[in-house]
Homo-oligomer: A and B are copies of this chain.
Amino acid sequence: MIKVGIVGGTGYTGVELLRLLAPHPEVQLTAITSRKEDGLPVADMFPSLRGHVDLAFSSPDKADLTECDVVFFATPHGVAMAQAPELLAAGVKVIDLAADFRLKDQATFEKWYKIPHTAPQLLEEAAYGLPELNREEIQKARLIANPGCYPTTMQLGFYPLLKAGIVDAGNLIADCKSGVSGAGRKAEIGTLFSESSDNFKAYGVHGHRHTPETAAQLQRFTEQQVGLLFTPHLVPMIRGMHATLYARLNQDISNEALQALFEAQYRDAEFVDVMPFGAHPETRSTRGSNMLRIALHRPDNGNTVVILVVQDNLVKGASGQAVQCMNLMFGFPESTGLKQIALLP
């Protein structure tokens, strides 16, 4: 049993961590902090947790997080970088679900996130928390930068093609669609039910923070010069993410060989499901589960490969992946506490 703390338990990734960690057989939930909700029982804010979580939120000042074995940051960008150095110094491992340690390059971080980085000395050390591409680093890490939800789908979808060097790496297109929970639990007009229900739109087409993260990591993992055009859209559903990825083949290859490439790559990945060639994965097939599903297409047998990727943005796209990293960091079997079957319908 390890002692686990959560900083920022009032958002969607926070409550999702609680759903996954409360029944986790190796975890003892020790502290959940919220400055604003100090003293409020967690289950009063999230009645789904009644009977499962007895903790109350505590003010960051009062909670002694240094007693924990690991602390998750389910906070806005900028919080983890402020507190991680002290925790690490006290021997506590840190998993940041925000962006503070996702970009190795400080200048790029500051350009896209528009805040100064206060712990640049940790950028190099932080392990990028995408187990399927970076398992060994994660196992040895003290500090994890949990990937963004979109980057998870884009990287796992493009990786086998880039690694094999069979597509034009400089001209990737990722047309991605996210459920509304990706915007977080913040009081904003744009994500009100009456604004986002029965509606569909693109956003941030001019440029999104997940583009440099995805491009840089893919480059690091595949040693290819990546050019990526990423277009995010908002879907009127709570959870779910669908990536439609387009890559141009630079050589002749059969559909069978393409399929074999993906199956080989993810043979041992418990949470990546390579579906039959030509399948149409649905986001709901991952609702509440840590699975990510991939299917390949080759329209008109042309030279463009279309890769469809789905996941639950709050699980494999955030809190589930963070728990998967935790399992690796502490030597638990990778899928411990993560075997929930998707809720369908």
Q: How far is the CB of A339 from chain B (nearest CB, A)?
A: 6
Note all chain B residues with C-beta closer than 8 A to A207: 299-300
Q: Which of B205, B273, B275 is in CB contact (< 8 Å) with A308?
A: B205
Task: Check if A231 sits within 8 Å of B244, measured CB to CB.
Answer: yes
- State the CA gap A200–B237 with chains docked (Å): 8
Task: Check if B280 sits within 8 Å of A237, measured CB to CB.
Answer: no
Task: Check if B189 sits within 8 Å of A189, measured CB to CB.
Answer: no
Q: Which of B194, B278, B284 is in CB contact (< 8 Å) with A345?
A: B194
Asked if A195 CB lies within 8 Å of chain B CBs, one says yes
Task: Check if A200 sits within 8 Å of B19, measured CB to CB.
Answer: no
Task: Check if A273 sits within 8 Å of B50, measured CB to CB.
Answer: yes
Q: How far is the CB of A258 from chain B (nearest CB, A)?
A: 14
Task: Check if B200 sits within 8 Å of A341, measured CB to CB.
Answer: no
Task: Check if B344 sits within 8 Å of A280, measured CB to CB.
Answer: no
CB-defined interface of A173-187 with B at 8 Å, one 1/0 digit per residue?
101010111010111
Note all chain B residues with C-beta closer than 8 A to A298: 206
Task: Check if A308 sits within 8 Å of B202, measured CB to CB.
Answer: yes
Task: Check if B238 sits within 8 Å of A345, measured CB to CB.
Answer: yes
Q: Which of B236, B297, B344 is in CB contact (< 8 Å) with A235?
A: B236
For residues 39 through 58 of chain A, which have their beta carbon under 8 Å from a beta carbon of chain B? Answer: 46-52
Note all chain B residues with C-beta closer than 8 A to A300: 207, 229
Residue of B with least CB distance to A279: B47
CB-defined interface of A281-315 with B at 8 Å, one 1/0 digit per residue?
11111111101010001111010101010100010
Task: Check if A12 sits within 8 Å of B345, measured CB to CB.
Answer: yes
Asked if A242 CB lies within 8 Å of chain B CBs, one says yes
Residue of B with least CB distance to A283: B200
Asked if A7 CB lies within 8 Å of chain B CBs, one says no
- State the CA gap A47–B314 with chains docked (Å): 19
For residues 146 through 190 of chain A, which have their beta carbon under 8 Å from a beta carbon of chain B? Answer: 173, 175, 177, 179-181, 183, 185-189
- State the CA gap A111–B291 with chains docked (Å): 38
Q: What 3 A-B pairs come out closest when comparing CB atoms?
A: A48-B342, A48-B344, A47-B285
Cross-chain pairs A/B with CB under 8 angstroms, 17 sampled:
A19-B341, A47-B282, A179-B194, A187-B188, A187-B189, A193-B195, A193-B196, A194-B345, A197-B236, A199-B284, A201-B242, A201-B283, A201-B310, A205-B278, A206-B298, A207-B300, A231-B244
